[in-house]
Amino acid sequence: MFHPLNRGINLIAVVLQARLDSTRLPEKALLLLEGKPLVLRVMESLNHIGADLKILACPEDSFSSFAPLADEAGFQIYAGPKEDVLERYCQVIRRFSIRRVIRATGDNPFVFPDAAKAINDEAISLNADYAGYFGLPLGAGVESVSADALLQAASQNTSPYEREHVCPYLYNHPELFRLHRPLAPACWQDRAERNIRLTVDTREDYERAQTLYAALNGEKERCRGETIIRRYAETFAK
């Protein structure tokens, strides 16, 4: 069992990884969603999660495009390695003296902030190195990860896949880390018959996101997971 180091600082940070050169939908981070770039809409959603810091972690080649958007959203911005995303996170951890990371990705404008708070609270309560819900709609979730666990993973001879995707080394080594991977509460679960897809990975996803974002206009609690699920079901009912 890996035991975190005593860092003496207890900062919790939302760290959003994003880039410009996505292969299936090039420069999707800058595609407009109700008049604003997708990555800005993601940050707006993440701003509903309570944390000490909000940081956009990107590669160097995305920095100039993302910096004004991060500033508009109230995020710090940090540029690090392009392919070694795990090391990018570790550099952010060292730079900002972070104790726990709420990890988010730049293709999820409909992340559930209420579910994010819940899983992070559970992770802290259980002193978990890694926590993430099963059963959420694709694109709705985040991961809560101990900063020390990420530093420990980066120090190992991890594979290119584990370095690109950040957390697989942790949950592939339950003998080393405290893992918490529960089924999401029923109110946030996807069901097989709905097959809710909230991430933006393809042109079809982007068009669906445009429709859903517009459908959520006027909703008083448009960022609540239950609201997003309900509007998705109403909008895309077969």
Question: pLDDT, tens digit, for every residue of 197-225?
Answer: 999 999 999 999 999 999 999 888 999 99
Q: Note the CATH architecture for domain 11-235.
A: Alpha-Beta Complex (3.90)
pLDDT tens, position by position, 47-81: 999 999 999 999 999 999 999 999 999 999 999 99
pLDDT for 193: 60
- Kindly state the tokens that stand for 186: 């029923």
How many CB atoms within 10 Å of residue 95? 13
10 Å CB burial of residue 236 (0-12, 13-18, 19+) is middle
pLDDT for 64: 96
pLDDT tens, position by position, 138-151: 999 999 999 999 99
Q: How confident is the model at residue 6 (pLDDT cuts 50, 70, 90)?
A: very low
Distance CA 102, CA 54 (A): 9
Backbone angles phi, psi at 154, to 5 degrees: -65, -25
For tokens 């080393």, what's the residue? 176
pLDDT for 158: 86
Judge whether 125 and 175 are in contact, CB under 8 Å.
no
pLDDT for 7: 44
What's this model's pTM, rounded to 2 decimal places? Answer: 0.92
Distance CA 226, CA 153 (A): 34
Listed in sequence order, the DSSP H helices in the chain are 38-46, 63-73, 85-96, 113-126, 147-154, 160-165, 168-171, 203-215, 225-235
Domain locations along the chain: 11-235
Judge whether 61 and 26 are in contact, CB under 8 Å.
no
Distance CA 186, CA 133 (A): 11
pLDDT for 132: 97
* 129 secondary structure, DSSP code: S
Distance CA 33, CA 217 (A): 12
pLDDT tens, position by position, 12-54: 999 999 999 888 888 999 999 999 999 999 999 999 999 999 9
Encoded amino acid at 224, one letter: R
